[in-house]
Structure 1
Amino acid sequence: MAKYGQNAGAIAALVREAEVHRDVYVDPEIFELEMEHLFPNSWIYVGHASQLGKPGDFITANIGRQPVLASRHTDGSIHVFYNRCPHKGVKIASEPCGNTGKFFRCPYHAWSFKTDGSLLAIPLKKGYEGTGFDDTQANEGLSKVRNVVIYRDFIFARLSDDGVSFEDYFGESLSTIDNMVDRSPEGKLAVQATPIRYMHTCNWKMLVENQTDTCHPMVAHESSAGTAVKVWKREQGSSTETPMAVQLYGPFMSPYEFYEQSGIRIWPNGHGHTGVANSIHSNYSDIEGYLGQMVAAYGEQRAHEILGEVRHNTVYFPNIMVKGAVQILRNFIPIAVDRTLVESWVYRLVGAPDKLYERALMYNRFINAPTSIVGHDDLEMYERAQEGLKSNGNQWVNLRRLYESHEEQDVTAVINGTSERQMRNQFHAWSKFMTMDMDKRVEAAE
Structure 2
Amino acid sequence: MEQAKQVELVRRVLEHLRTGTTHMVEEESRLPVAPYLQPERLEAEQRLFRKLPMIVGHASQLAEPGDYLTHDSMGTPLLLCRTASGEVTCFLNVCRHRGTRLVAEAQGRRKQAFVCPYHGWTYDSTGRLRAVPDEVGFPSRPSESVGLVRVPVVERLGLLWVTLEPGGPDVDTFLAPVMPDLAGFGLEKLVAYKPHTMERKLNWKIAIEIFLEAYHLRYAHRESIYPLFFNNVGLVDRLAPHIRAIFPKKTIQELGGQPEAGWELRKHANVLFQLFPNVLLLVQPDHVSVSTVHPLGADRTEYRTFWLLPQLPETEKATRYWEKNIEILIGAVQEDLAMGESIQSGLRSGANEFVRLARFEQGLRYFRDDLDAYLASSR
Tell me if the contact between 1:44 and 1:63 (Cα under 8 Å) persists in the aligned partners.
no
Matching residue of 2:294: 333
Q: Which of 101, 108, 118 does residue 108 from structure 1 map onto?
A: 118
Q: Which of 78, 86, 89 does residue 68 from structure 1 map onto?
A: 78
Change (3 A) 1:52 1:306: farther
Does residue 148 of structure 2 align to residue 142 of structure 1? yes
Distance in 1, matches of 2:371 and 2:156, equals 23
Matching residue of 2:244: 273
Matching residue of 1:441: none
Does residue 190 of structure 2 align to residue 189 of structure 1? yes
Matching residue of 2:205: 205
Matching residue of 2:68: 58
Mean alpha-carbon deviation: is it higher for 58-67 or for 102-111?
58-67
Q: Which of 94, 97, 102 does residue 87 from structure 1 map onto?
A: 97
Matching residue of 2:228: 251
Secondary structure in structure 2 of the residue aligned to 1:312 = strand
RMSD of the TM alignment (CA)? 3.2
Mean alpha-carbon deviation: is it higher for 389-398 or for 98-107?
389-398
Q: Could you give the per-residue CA deviations for residues 11-53 of structure 1, whole angstroms, max 9, x where no partner exists?
A: xxxxxx9443323222233223322x12102111010111112
Q: CA deviation at 1:338?
A: 1.8
Matching residue of 2:366: 425
Matching residue of 2:20: none
Q: CA deviation at 1:389?
A: 0.7
Q: CA deviation at 1:177?
A: 3.5
Give 2:342's aligned amino acid. R
The alignment's TM-score, normalised by the length of structure 1, stands at 0.69
Tell me if the contact between 2:202 and 2:298 (Cα under 8 Å) persists in the aligned partners.
yes
Q: CA deviation at 1:358?
A: 6.0
Secondary structure in structure 1 of the residue aligned to 2:150 = coil
Distance in 1, matches of 2:75 and 2:228, equals 38
Give 1:159's aligned amino acid. L
Does residue 216 of structure 2 align to residue 216 of structure 1? yes
Change (3 A) 1:340 1:218: same
Matching residue of 2:171: 166
Matching residue of 1:243: none
The alignment's TM-score, normalised by the length of structure 2, stands at 0.80
Percent identical pairs in the alignment equals 24
Q: Could you give the per-residue CA deviations for residues 367-387 of structure 1, whole angstroms, max 9, x where no partner exists?
A: 31xxx2x44432332122111
Q: Could you give the per-residue CA deviations for residues 298-355 of structure 1, whole angstroms, max 9, x where no partner exists?
A: xx99986686795522111111111122411122232222222222211111499988
Matching residue of 2:327: 365
Matching residue of 1:391: 349
Matching residue of 1:10: none
Distance in 2, matches of 1:357 and 1:175, equals 32
Give structure 1 stretches of 5+ with no counterpart. 1-16, 226-247, 286-299, 403-418, 439-446
Q: CA deviation at 1:180?
A: 3.0
Secondary structure in structure 2 of the residue aligned to 1:388 = helix
Change (3 A) 1:41 1:99: same
Give 1:181's aligned amino acid. G
Distance in 1, matches of 2:322 and 2:211, equals 18
Secondary structure in structure 2 of the residue aligned to 1:389 = helix
Change (3 A) 1:119 1:309: farther
Q: Which has the higher strand share?
A: 2
Q: Could you give the per-residue CA deviations for residues 208-248 of structure 1, whole angstroms, max 9, x where no partner exists?
A: 111112111112222x23xxxxxxxxxxxxxxxxxxxxxx5
Q: CA deviation at 1:76?
A: 0.9
Distance in 1, matches of 2:89 and 2:221, equals 43
Q: CA deviation at 1:86?
A: 1.7
Secondary structure in structure 2 of the residue aligned to 1:195 = strand
Secondary structure in structure 1 of the residue aligned to 2:57 = strand
Give 2:198's aligned amino acid. Y
Change (3 A) 1:62 1:429: farther
Change (3 A) 1:39 1:346: same
Q: Which of 44, 52, 65 does residue 33 from structure 1 map onto?
A: 44
Give structure 2 stretches of 5+ with no counterpart. 1-27
Tell me if the contact between 2:214 and 2:231 (Cα under 8 Å) persists in the aligned partners.
no
Tell me if the contact between 2:135 and 2:141 (Cα under 8 Å) persists in the aligned partners.
no
Tell me if the contact between 2:73 and 2:302 (Cα under 8 Å) persists in the aligned partners.
no
Secondary structure in structure 2 of the residue aligned to 1:427 = helix
- Matching of residues 226-245 of structure 1 within 5 Å: none
Secondary structure in structure 2 of the residue aligned to 1:177 = helix
Secondary structure in structure 2 of the residue aligned to 1:313 = strand
Change (3 A) 1:320 1:307: closer
Tell me if the contact between 2:95 and 2:116 (Cα under 8 Å) persists in the aligned partners.
yes
Tell me if the contact between 1:218 and 1:255 (Cα under 8 Å) persists in the aligned partners.
yes
Change (3 A) 1:117 1:353: closer
Tell me if the contact between 1:349 and 1:357 (Cα under 8 Å) persists in the aligned partners.
no
Secondary structure in structure 1 of the residue aligned to 2:198 = strand
Mean alpha-carbon deviation: is it higher for 51-60 or for 171-180?
171-180
Tell me if the contact between 1:176 and 1:314 (Cα under 8 Å) persists in the aligned partners.
no
Tell me if the contact between 1:56 and 1:100 (Cα under 8 Å) persists in the aligned partners.
yes
Q: Could you give the per-residue CA deviations for residues 135-187 of structure 1, whole angstroms, max 9, x where no partner exists?
A: 9xxx34111112x21013210111121211212211131345323326xxxx7
